[in-house]
Structure formats: structure tokens, C-alpha cells
A and B are shown apart, each in its own frame.
Chain A
Amino acid sequence: GAVVSQHPSRVICKSGTSVKIECRSLDFQATTMFWYRQFPKQSLMLMATSNEGSKATYEQGVEKDKFLINHASLTLSTLTVTSAHPEDSSFYICSASDRGAANYGYTFGSGTRLTVV
């Protein structure tokens, strides 16, 4: 089945620095990738939709200048958290869409635990 690889799985960074998270589709081409954020004991919230070769579409309330998304190839999307602050500490999860898959391809990565100190 479709596999989505995400790394790093955990990262600790200092306040004010930037962190890049990678999301790769390993065995299929993902024209669309999604980025979600999940705070402890809460549900996943969609942050942005990333289409290969075009600008990402951000959900209301998500700062596009703070959460930079790049989807330069059909197998890789990156999320960069710029000038990170402690309130950005969260679990970030990507999902890649493979419309050829049986379940329409909403396959998730394993997530990245970001801690900003």
C-alpha cells in the first residue's frame, strides 16, 4: 500500500530559529499533500493544502509567512516553521493523496513532534 515517510520524528529547537519538516511519498506520486497540526489530546486540524508546482492554500488563521510550504516534486513536500515560538510546539503530520489508491490516498506520515524551547 501507499507509504508516506515523514521526518524528523522529533525535533527540539530554540525560540526564534526555523525548523524544516519533510514529507515524502515513497511508492506513489502525490499531486496533493496536506499538512495538519495536532495539540495534545485534541484532534487534527488542517493547516494547508499543497499542490505540486503551485503555491499552497492555507486554512483560515494559519500564517503563510510563518509556515512555509514547498512542494517542488511529486514525492516531496516540506513545511518550514520560521521564527519558532513555544506556542508552535505541536505534533505536525503530513498526508499525501494518491487518487489511484483504494482509499483515495489519504495516507498519513508518522508525524513530527516539535518542541520549541
Chain B
Amino acid sequence: GESVGLHLPTLSVQEGDNSIINCAYSNSASDYFIWYKQESGKGPQFIIDIRSNMDKRQGQRVTVLLNKTVKHLSLQIAATQPGDSAVYFCAETHLLSGGGADGLTFGKGTHLIIQP
């Protein structure tokens, strides 16, 4: 869905705690979802992805949950560290057959702040 906003929501957590960042998407045709981390002045960095045929996927310290019924995506970061401070975006797209690719639609983003 469209993602335009005047400011980013902020989530502040204590170092070592777990954090959960949520994202709602609007396109029922989307079948591939990605979470990105963006530090100031840099391009988005891939964190984890999930296809629509799954509802959970785990990586190192990160877990993505997908609820297609309510079009909701979440990113869980375990044992947060100072380096996790950044803006996190969810992105959605529809994978094309035959080798083509659609662009990504980004969510509004959440600014995660890790408190020492």
C-alpha cells in the first residue's frame, strides 16, 4: 500500500530487551515480504524475508511473522543491541513468474531506539 507520512513512529526499548515492530499491508496480491533496516543516510539493508506460503520465519535474532488474514506483518528482534537502532521498513511485492520482478511497496517505517 501507499506509505506517505510526515514523521515516523518511534519505538524505544532497553538494550537487551526484545522488540516487536508491526506493519500493515493492503495489497492482497502481495506474496513476498521483506524487512529492511535503514541507517541515516544509507540505503535499506535486507534483514529477513518471507513468502506468503509461510507464516513464520526465523533468522539470527530476528523473526518475521505473517498474518495474511488481517494483512499484518511483524518483525521481532531478540536481545536488542545499540547497533539495532535504525529505521525499519516492511516492504511487499508480488513475485512474477518467468523471471520478471515488480517493484517494492514500502510501509511507513518505524524508528527503533535502543536505550542503554
Contact = CB atoms under 8 A, between A and B. Distances in A.
Given A41-B7, A41-B8, A46 B104 contact: yes
Q: Which of A43, A107, A113 has the most CB of B within 10 A?
A: A43
Given A41-B8, A43-B5, A49 B103 contact: yes
Contact of A32 (B32, B41, B45, B100): B100
B101 A43 contact: no
Given A41-B6, A44-B89, A111-B43, A104 B32 contact: yes
A113 B41 CA distance: 8
Contacts of A89: none
Nearest to A112: B43
User: Is chain A's interface secondary structure helix, strand, loop, or mixed overall?
Assistant: strand
Contact of B42 (A4, A46, A103, A110): A110
Given A43-B5, A44-B89, A46-B103, A104 B95 contact: yes
Interface residues of B, number: 31
User: Of B32, B42, B101, which is in contact with the most chain A CB atoms at under 10 Å from its CB?
Assistant: B101
Residues of B contacting A: mostly: loop
Interface residues of A, number: 29
Nearest to B43: A108
A93 interface: yes
Interface in A40-59: 41-46, 49, 59
Interface in A95-112: 95, 97, 99, 103-111
A34 interface: yes
A99 B106 contact: no
Given A41-B6, A44-B89, A99 B101 contact: yes
B70 interface: no
Contacts of B100: 32
B89 A111 contact: no
A42 B103 contact: no
B4 interface: yes
Contacts of A59: 103
Interface of B: 3-8, 32, 34, 36, 41-46, 49, 89, 91, 93, 95, 99-109
